[in-house]
Structure formats: C-alpha cells, structure tokens
C-alpha cells in the first residue's frame, strides 16, 4: 500500500476519533515519525475535525453528562473488581513482568472505546438539538411570512381606500346597521363620472355557506340590484354601473343573488 492509499484508507480519522485498534494506532504513530506526508495529512485531518466540531457545537441535554459519567464509573468498577488469576506458581515472576503491559494496552483500548461512545452520544444529542432548532426556526419563519403577507394585504387595501377617499370624483355613502344588525356597517364608493359603484363591506359578518351579500340602489323608490359582493372585489372591483340613486342597502341572499331584496335579511342602509 503506497502513501496515498494509506492516507485515504481512513486510518487517520479512526485514530483521531479513538476508534483505531492499538496495533493500528502503533503503526500510524511509527509511520508519522518517518513519513512527512502522512504526518501532514494527520495534522490537516485533526484541524478539519476540530473545526467541524467547533462549528456544530451545541449544548447537549443537561442530564447527558451525568449519564455518561455513571457509565464510565460502572465500567471502571467492573474492571477493578475482576481478579487477576495466575495459571501456576512457577510463572509468577514472568507474569508480573508481562501483566502490566497487557493491562495497560487493554485499558488504553477501553479508554478509546469509552471516548468513542461519549463522542457518539454527544454527536447524537447535538444532531437532535440542531434538528429541533431547525424545525422551530422553519416554523417561526413560516409564521413571520404569513404575518408579513397579511400586513402587505392590509396595506394594499388601505392604499386602495386612500386613493378613493382622496379622489374628488368619488362620493362616499355610509351604510349603517338596521334594527337587527345595529353593529354592522359598510361604505359605498360611487364614482360621479363613470357611475361605477364600489363596496367596502369588511365590517359585515362573514356570509354563511351558500349565501352572499347583494348591494341595492334605491332609485325613485324602487330597489335596483347593484351587484354581488365578494371579498376579492372589496373596494377594488366595481360591482355595477348605477346612473342614479337616492340610497343604498345590502341584503343577505342565496349565492348568485335575487331579483328582489329579502327585506328581513337587510343588514345595512344609507341615504345619499
């Protein structure tokens, strides 16, 4: 295996994360002492992983630290409680010499494993924390966008009404609630030149399913249909062309309108 294959094998990353076996770690340490290219790749990988960990650092759950510490203590307690059994008395001296090295290697490997477990748990906790934050941020952005659209729509309606109010050719007729609907009100905008009629009925209750508000012009004592109201038309689209009128009124009719007003369903009325 040449140097480039060795570097791309993933052994450097495993070593940094504490996942390499003692034999692999020993070989890598030896290679780094004698190969500048491998050593440079190790330093670069170490810096990259450190930068990544710093950039994605998040606060883990409060109880995660205590859980990890308890796990480490339990592992250590089990390890300390295991007796060292000697096979026979004649090999006591030789085992005394070999045992510390074996135990040291075993302890190093367990330390790497525990460190890897800690890193894995912290990574999971961090990812969950990040995902929760992302979901919350998306929900907040969607809410802000909806609020912005609502405000933009309200501003558009206000600008349209302001243009009508400021026009010298526009006559405004206030329609007030009748006996059964005293809290209702609406405003008719009647263009003196074009004779077109616009209606602002935002202050009327929302029409029930299958029903629709109809505007009437009272001319020479007779009601004349001045068009059907919809929210899309409010203050923006002319409902009808009315040459003359002495008053206006609004009734609630079946969707599509009626030829004559339903008097018991009259909501507002106003004279010119």
pLDDT at 6: 79
Range name among 210-224, 225-239, 245-259 with the lowest pLDDT average: 225-239
Among 90, 116, 136, the domain boundary falls at 136
Q: In this predicted model, what pLDDT tens digit does every residue of 18-71 receive, in sequence order?
A: 777 887 888 888 888 888 888 888 888 888 777 665 655 555 566 666 766 676
d(CA 115, CA 111): 6
Q: Provide the pLDDT for residue 237.
A: 87
Answer whether residue 78 shows pLDDT above 70: no
Dump pLDDT digits (tens) for 101-145: 444 545 555 555 666 666 666 666 666 666 666 667 677 777 777
Find out whether 251 and 214 touch, Cβ atoms under 8 Å.
yes
- For 84, the domain range is 3-136
Tell whether pTM > 0.75: no
Is 242 domain-assigned? yes
Residues 35 and 127 in one domain: yes
The torsion angles phi and psi of 150, rounded to 5 degrees, stand at -65, -40
Instruction: Judge if 9 and 129 occupy the same domain.
Output: yes
Shared domain for 196 and 103, answered yes or no, is no
267 in the same domain as 201: yes
| Confidence category of residue 208, pLDDT binned at 50, 70, 90 | very high
Q: What domain count does the chain have? A: 2
Give the span between the Cα atoms of 125 and 56, in whole angstroms: 12
């Amino acid at each position: 295996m040449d140097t480039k294959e060795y570097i791309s094998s993933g052994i450097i990353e495993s070593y940094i994360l504490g996942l390499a076996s003692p034999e692999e770690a020993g070989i890598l340490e030896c290679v780094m002492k004698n190969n500048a290219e491998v050593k440079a790749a190790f330093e670069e990988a170490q810096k990259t992983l450190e930068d990544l960990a710093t950039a994605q650092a998040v606060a883990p759950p409060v109880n995660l630290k205590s859980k990890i510490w308890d796990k480490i203590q339990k592992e250590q307690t089990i390890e300390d409680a295991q007796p060292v059994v000697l096979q026979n008395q004649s090999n006591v001296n030789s085992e005394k010499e070999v045992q510390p090295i074996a135990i040291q290697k075993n302890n190093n490997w367990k330390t790497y494993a525990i460190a890897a477990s800690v890193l894995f748990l912290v990574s999971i906790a961090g990812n969950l924390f990040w995902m929760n934050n992302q979901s919350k941020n998306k929900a907040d952005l969607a809410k802000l966008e909806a609020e912005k659209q609502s405000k933009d729509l309200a501003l558009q309606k206000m600008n349209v009404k302001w243009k009508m109010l400021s026009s010298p050719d526009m006559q405004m007729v206030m329609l007030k609630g009748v006996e059964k609907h005293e809290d209702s009100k609406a405003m008719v905008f009647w263009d003196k030149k074009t004779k077109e009629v616009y209606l602002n009925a935002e202050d009327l209750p929302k029409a029930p399913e299958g029903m629709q508000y109809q505007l009437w012009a009272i001319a020479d004592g007779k009601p004349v249909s001045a068009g059907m109201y919809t929210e899309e038309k409010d203050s923006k689209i002319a409902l009808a062309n009315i040459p003359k009128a002495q008053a206006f009124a609004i009734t609630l009719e079946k969707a599509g309108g009626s030829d004559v007003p339903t008097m018991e369903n009259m909501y507002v009325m106003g004279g010119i």
